[in-house]
Amino acid sequence: MRYMIALLIVVIWSSLALSQGINNPCGNTASTTVPGCMIYGTSANTAAQGNDSRITGAAQQTGITTWVPTDASGAGLTFTSVSVNYTRIGNMVYVYGTLTYPITADTNGAVIGGLPVAVANDNYAAVPTIAQNPNGNPGWQIRAVKNTSTFILYNITGAAQLTNAQMTGATIYFMLIYPAA
């Protein structure tokens, strides 16, 4: 009998908590502001677009947004066939897209700049990811450079930075995830 009473109390408390929003600290309306809440909705004012009033501070999100990659190697190169986007969720930035290097004999290290959000100044921010070349190349590593808005291209083993000349005419597909500064 004691177990039945305890179960009944838990069920009643749970029902009250749900109806009062106790288990939903973000609330059910856009007028509720709780730092760190990430709510996805279906209206024009959704959290996925980064303009929901319930998302504040470090938890702020952006929708899918474009950015402009630049040559940060010092060679003044212009990329073509550029299609890049990014999304920021909290402190994490997701940068992805494709671009084609111009034909060049420049031997400077291949560095792409213009990241939409600066990279955190911590070693864990420079964890490499793989970039793909649809033209038969085995691929490359890309690494964010901490405390900058750039990333560097390396050979697939990560042992050597690639040069612009090694990237000449190459198309790369990439996705880089890094913590924001």
Residue predicted with more confidence, 52 or 154: 154
pLDDT over 90 percentage in the chain: 54
DSSP-based three-state secondary structure for 5: helix
Residue 173 in this model has a pLDDT that exceeds 80:
yes
3-state helix, strand, coil in the chain (%, to 5): 20, 30, 50
Residue ranges with strand state E in 90-150: 92-100, 111-113, 129-131, 140-144
| pTM of the predicted model as reported, rounded to 2 decimal places | 0.67
93: which strand partners?
88, 178
Residue 164 pLDDT > 70: yes
Tokens representing 167 are 């990237």
Count of alpha carbons within 13 Å of 159, Cβ hemisphere only? Answer: 1
CA atoms within 13 A on the CB side of 15: 6
Contact (CB, 8 A) for 129 and 176: yes
| Of 71 and 61, the one with more pLDDT | 71
| pLDDT given for residue 33 in this prediction | 44
User: What's the whole-number mean pLDDT along residues 74-100?
Assistant: 96
Give just the sign of the alpha carbon dihedral 27, 33, 38, 44.
positive
pLDDT, tens digit (0-9, with 9 covering 90-100), for 124-155: 999 999 898 877 667 789 999 999 999 999 98
**What gap in Å lies between CA 109 and CA 111, rounded to an integer?**
6
pLDDT of residue 136: 67
Give Cα 34 to chain centroid, integer Å. 23
Residue 88: its pLDDT value, please? Answer: 94
Q: Write out the two tokens for 53.
A: 């009033």
Q: What would the pLDDT profile of 4-45 be if each residue is shown by its tens digit?
A: 343 333 333 334 344 444 444 444 444 444 444 443 333 233
CA 47 to mean position of chain CA atoms? 16
Q: Tokens in use for 41?
A: 């909705």
Assigned CATH topology for domain 65-179: Immunoglobulin-like (2.60.40)
Residue ranges, comma separated, of all CATH 2.60.40 domains in the chain are 65-179
Handedness of CA 33, 37, 41, 43 (dihedral sign): positive
Task: Kindly indicate the confidence band of residue 49, based on its pLDDT and cuts at 50, 70 and 90.
Answer: very low
- Please tell me the distance from the alpha carbon of residue 115 to that of residue 76, in angstroms, as a whole number: 17
